[in-house]
Amino acid sequence: MDSTVASTGTEGKTWGGGNKPLKASYGKMMMWFFIVSDALTFSGFLAAYGFSRFKFMNEWPIADEVFTHLPFIHDGVDRPMIYVAFMTFILIISSVTMVLAVDAGHHMKKGKVTIYMFLTIIFGATFVGSQAWEWATFIKGEYGAVQTNGGNILQFGEYKTVDGEEKFKRISIDEFAVVAHSERVQHERKNGLWFVTEESLPPYTVDEIYNGLAAHPNILVRNQLLNEDGHKTVLSREESLKQIKENGKLVVKGANLKVNEYGTALFGDFFFFITGFHGFHVFSGVVINIIIFFNVILGTYERRGSYEMVEKVGLYWHFVDLVWVFVFTFFYLV
């Protein structure tokens, strides 16, 4: 029996196995491999988020009460999810312009590819900038809260009549805290314990918050547990003072990876990790789009006779947009 292997005529080529899988080029197939693997990564993150939220359902912050701000507007009027919805709209529009760029590339229209790629870059950069602003607002905080010995978050507010209905409106601790005239010095490594540095000091002490609460009889404390109506539980005046006096441990303003004024610490951890990981993908996509954009201007793909590179980066961009739809749904809407 002859053991000689017959030549297929494909030796030395990129695809050495004969026909192209799904009639896709090597570059497209590799992009799809990356997209599938990355989709599994995001799926794992969102599944972990869903599990944690289900486990701590009664303590989880309400998104409508957290993401209520707009840039350059500080009039205290809540606008739940408006800016996040704007960010989502911008990213979806960028997918449309990317589709138009790919279609123009199929018709070898360099001018239109240039215009649509430029618009895609602008929309993508706008989204990244908006997400950076959202992070800064989340980290800085607005109202402040007190963390108890058990790790619960106590927020402050008062009942106000809005559209004929009495609603609990949050109040910033800056408005009622009674600041003592004593000065506390932050511990540094050169003083006291060696190689130990104290974290940044909180804006107020628990005693200053308690004294301010006692001096304002209209202010009440709200804990992070949901009641039967799906709202955070507002404590009575007596219970409010008792919780701050007996269980108050730390004054919190804003959010970080250890604690946040909005509720359970896991909420902040997932917010930074999931939105940050997606934001890194969008930023990377913007950088890649800029490179492709300049190649289009230089006529690189025109000389090649194909704008397939635009199509490949378009696949990545559509994937990033689709992932945001799931992040937006899981994190902000559900």
Query: Which residues have C-beta within 8 Å of that of residue 291, sequence separation ≥ 6?
Result: none
Task: Report which of 148, 168, 150, 173 is spatially closest to residue 158, judged by C-alpha positions.
Answer: 168
Q: Are both 51 and 110 inside the same structural domain?
A: yes
Same domain, residue pair 324 and 238: no
Please indicate, yes or no, whether residues 107 and 188 belong to a single structural domain of this protein.
no
Residue 2 lies in a domain: no
pLDDT at 125 over 50: yes
Tell me how far apart the alpha carbons of residues 205 and 85 are, in angstroms, rounded to a whole number. 37
Task: Enumerate the H helices of the chain as residue ranges.
Answer: 26-55, 63-66, 82-106, 110-140, 206-214, 237-247, 265-270, 276-298, 300-304, 308-327
Question: Does 112 share its domain with 31?
Answer: yes
The reply to whether 71 falls in a domain is yes
Distances (CA, A) of 270 to 266, 267, 281, 332: 6, 5, 16, 12
Domain closes at, from 192, 224, 253: 253
Whether 87 maps to a domain, the answer reads yes
95-104, 108-117, 231-240: which has the minimum mean pLDDT?
Answer: 231-240
pLDDT of 19 over the 60 cut: no
Higher confidence at residue 71 or residue 103?
A: 103
Predicted local distance difference test score (pLDDT) of residue 95: 96
For residue 314, what are the domain limits?
22-141+266-333
Where is 168: in which H helix or E strand? Answer: strand 165-170
Q: In this structure, is residue 200 part of a structural domain?
A: yes
Q: How far is CA 243 from CA 154, 161, 206, in A?
A: 8, 26, 11
98 and 197 belong to one structural domain: no
Domain boundary among 214, 230, 253: 253
- Asked if residue 4 belongs to a domain, the reply is no
Residue 79: inside a domain: yes
Question: What is the C-alpha end-to-end distance of the chain, expressed in Å?
Answer: 67
Residues 164 and 249 in one domain: yes
Read off the pTM. Answer: 0.84
58 secondary structure, DSSP code: G
Using the structure block, give the residue that is written with the tokens 């997932």: 270
Note whether 55 and 199 are same-domain residues.
no
Is 183 in the same domain as 202?
yes
* Residue, of 260 and 191, whose pLDDT is higher: 260
User: How would you class 126 by CB atoms within 10 Å of its CB: exposed for 0-12, middle for 13-18, buried for 19 or more?
Assistant: middle
| Phi, psi torsion values for 224, nearest 5 degrees | -95, 5
User: Residues 185, 125: one domain?
Assistant: no
Give dist(CA 5, CA 89) in Å, integer: 57
In a domain, 160, yes or no: yes
Task: Tell whether 1 is covered by a domain.
Answer: no
CATH at residue 86? 1.20.120.80
Q: How many domains does the chain divide into? A: 2
| In a shared domain, residues 47 and 153 | no
Confidence of residue 57 (pLDDT cuts 50, 70, 90): confident
Query: Confidence class of residue 312 from pLDDT cuts 50, 70 and 90?
Result: very high
Examine the fold and report which residue of 224, 253, 282 is the final residue of a domain before the chain moves on. 253
Q: Which two tokens stand for residue 53?
A: 């939220």
CB 169 within 8 A of CB 289: no
In the predicted model, is pLDDT for residue 314 greater than 70?
A: yes
Block residue for tokens 């080529």: 13
Q: Are residues 126 and 217 in the same domain?
A: no
pLDDT digits 0-9 by tens, 142-198: 899 999 998 899 999 998 877 778 888 889 999 999 887 656 556 565 655 555 555
- Report which secondary-structure segment, H or E, holds 234: strand 232-234
Residues 239 and 310 in one domain: no
